[in-house]
Amino acid sequence: MSDQAYKSSLAYHEQSPAGKISLMPTKPLRNSADLSLAYTPGVAGAVLNIAKNPDDAYKYTSKGNLIAVISNGTAVLGLGNRGALASKPVMEGKAVLFKRFAGIDAIDIEINSTDPAEIIRTIELISPTFGGINLEDIKAPECMEIERALIGRLDIPVFHDDQHGTAVVVSAGLHNAANVAGKDLRNLRIVLNGAGSAGLAIANMLLAMGCDKEQLLLCDSKGVIYEGRNDLNSFKTPFARKTDLRTLADALRGADVFIGISVAGALTGSMLASMAKDPIVFAMANPMPEMLPSDAWKTRDDVIMATGRSDFPNQVNNLLCFPFLFRGALDTRAKSINQAMKVAASEALAALAREPVPQDVLAAYGIDDASFGRDYLLPKPFDHRLLPTIAPAVAKAAMESGVARVKVDLKEYEKKMERSAEELAKG
């Protein structure tokens, strides 16, 4: 971060009132009659009904539109372990994004612990307050352990965005990149560099999207994940391949796709040169990618490139997923966010990028044109069509897969999301 950007960030956050979120009442409180309804004695009616029927919490409280954004600060953006309190600006930011893009209320909760069992139990104890749990910036492999335990214990959606939000957007982008390259997603030779939580989630998502497991090679900091390696944890072992390939360079020879969730500079010019025709490169290390697009284009003029940065084409941005995925999950009171819902979100996101881009979206980004192709594989975050496109697709998948507790009329729901998107865009 430049000195000027650093100063601008601090000035932005310390404007009065400090931080980025506040609470606003949703009912009038103008006189003693209002007060008696909002608190004692009138609130007793809601209390008694919820005690008799817990589902009434969705009827009488904010639970159905409330997400907990939770971190312990052990993996804050690209800044590493900065502690629970230092993660608060990021979690507040996440809460703002939920509200701005999907109308979801979110409260940030920073847990001052690195003990997975302690974190799991803390979240379990506070879970009745919320309609869903969004885990964020917790280091691997603890984040996977925490998420897996909570999914087993809670009856509300639990979603680690660093894993699954990334996976949804990457798979959507790859689907479209394969289309542009004239290649079949099911036959792609894919090399995924980085076998942490996000990398493993991407791998699982690609398989769910139809990619061939025998064509997928994972690499970590020690090279190819192959059968017989004795240092693999339980999360990596299922992806061990029977192969003689040992290094990233070995794996990339003739490969169609490089997906990087690793470190700056991991992809070299010679590695890229060895890949198949129209190579697809998703270099998502932040703030510096595995290879800069400018260097990639010098090496290959046929490369199809995406990064995690907004200053290059095809930004892989989790914002394209998590607000809208949670919207569909909350509105069907889904018990979980399952693979079917994630696949539905990915497919809807990919399809939207192939639609003509409205003029107001172009104006929001100060550009004259954007159309599906090598430099436009994914929609822009301020595309107002994201909400009415993705949330209904997720709701439909929730209902069809059996995790929804309420049913929605999809045509009416899509219209409702269109109206919501318009209102949210007005601020």
Predicted confidence at residue 94, as pLDDT, reads 97
25-162: which CATH architecture? 3-Layer(aba) Sandwich (3.40)
Predicted confidence at residue 104, as pLDDT, reads 98
Q: How far apart are CA 161 and CA 163, in angstroms?
A: 5
**Third-level CATH fold of 318-426:** Rossmann fold (3.40.50)
> CATH for 164-307, among 3.40.50.1000, 1.20.272.10, 3.40.50.800, 3.40.50.720?
3.40.50.720
Residues of the chain with CATH 3.40.50.720: 164-307, 318-426
Predicted confidence at residue 5, as pLDDT, reads 85
Residues of the chain with CATH 3.40.50.10380: 25-162
Predicted confidence at residue 418, as pLDDT, reads 97
Q: Which amino acid is at 122?
A: T
Q: pLDDT by residue for the chain (427 residues), tens digit each?
A: 788 888 898 898 999 889 998 888 999 999 999 999 999 999 999 999 999 999 999 999 999 999 999 999 999 987 899 999 999 999 999 999 999 999 999 999 999 999 999 999 999 999 999 999 999 999 999 999 999 999 999 999 999 999 999 999 999 999 999 999 999 999 999 999 999 999 999 999 999 999 999 999 999 999 999 999 999 999 999 999 999 999 999 999 999 999 999 999 999 999 999 999 999 999 999 889 999 999 999 999 999 999 999 889 999 999 999 999 999 999 999 999 999 999 999 999 999 999 999 998 998 888 888 899 999 999 999 999 999 999 999 999 999 999 999 999 999 999 999 999 999 998 7
Q: How far apart are CA 360 and CA 303, in angstroms?
A: 30
How far is the CA of 251 from the CAs of 205, 245, 299, in angstroms?
Answer: 20, 6, 18
Tokens coding 418: 């269109």
Instruction: Kindly report the number of other CB atoms within 10 A of residue 89's CB atom.
Output: 17
Predicted confidence at residue 286, as pLDDT, reads 86
**Which active-site residues does the annotation give?**
39, 94
Please choose, from the candidates 25, 20, 24, 42, the residue with its C-alpha nearest in 3D space to the C-alpha of residue 33.
42
Q: How far apart are CA 139 and CA 117, in angstroms?
A: 14
Predicted confidence at residue 4, as pLDDT, reads 86
Ordered alpha helix ranges (H), 103-141: 116-126
Predicted confidence at residue 77, as pLDDT, reads 85
- Kindly calculate the radius of gyration of the chain based on its CA atoms and give it in whole angstroms: 22
Q: How far apart are CA 92 and CA 96, in angstroms?
A: 6
With tokens 């497991």, the residue in question is: 213
